Structure 1
């Protein structure tokens, strides 16, 4: 009698083949880091531009004699938010990702208004919060594009 082992359809072998190698995970981490740095850099320069033309300012910020922008936001909050967004977006299908980006745009409008109420952020009277809605949608689409580009290239 001949003993032959048949592979089960749901064997652990196929799940082992799907696991990422160390170098693949390292490449993915690099894509996250590059996207986080990109978001910080773009956020900082956009804030410098809009503060410079007087569209808004940050009355409460670290080192106000040195920085005209809120460096806690541009160097910590924005990159961490971008990485969290990328982590979730990378696990979603296109329609869900689009809905999430629209939701972020809507949430930003309310977060800005709350920040103004708390005195963290003051907009010029000509400012319209729809600028932020569309701006953050574009911002996160660009961050997603940079992330996907470097995921493929690294």
Structure 2
């Protein structure tokens, strides 16, 4: 990498260092983090045989449903962050709890559709608390990266 040094006798001001546009957009950064976390969590839980994805894109290559972690989840997180910006403090807490309660229901529906399968030892309460922590973490990161008050 080449570095250009400012000449002492030059009248030009050195240009300030610019942050990457990626980190200037808190929503994009939070969506990226959510996708990354979800991918690694799915890899971990699938590797521990706690759940599996019977129907998934490229099953010979990926053991997880990459369509969910790379397309569906980022879109849902984007909508989640947008809604979080629209509500007050109690609305934020209520939204996180509501979505976390909705996840086990959606998991059951995905199981009926053959998209998802849990091991016998899995409790859907794990999903509730997992998404409660996941969504809270994503929102705290979003506020932190955007210098916002949550």
TM-score range, shorter chain: 0.7 to 0.9
1:51: how far off?
0.1
Aligned pairs for 1:101-116 (under 5 A) are 101-116=96-111
Indicate the residue corresponding to 1:54 in structure 2. 49
TM normalised by structure 2 equals 0.82
What count of residue pairs does the alignment treat as equivalent? 128
Task: Give the secondary-structure state (helix, strand or coil) at the position aligned to 1:152.
Answer: coil
- Measured against aligned partners, the alpha-carbon deviations of 1:104-145 in whole angstroms (never above 9, x if no partner) come to 011101000000011000000000000000100110000101
| Higher-Rg member (1/2) | 1
- Residues 128/28 of structure 1: CA separation in 2 closer, same or farther (3 Å cut): same
C-alpha separation between the residues in 2 aligned to 1:121 and 1:27? 33
C-alpha separation between the residues in 2 aligned to 1:124 and 1:55? 5
Indicate the residue corresponding to 1:40 in structure 2. 35
TM normalised by structure 1 equals 0.80
C-alpha separation between the residues in 2 aligned to 1:71 and 1:27? 22
In the TM superposition, structure 1's runs of 4+ consecutive aligned residues that sit over 3 Å from their partners are: 26-29
Where structure 2 has 5 or more consecutive residues not aligned to the other structure, the ranges are: 1-20
1:28: how far off?
9.3
Where structure 1 has 5 or more consecutive residues not aligned to the other structure, the ranges are: 1-25
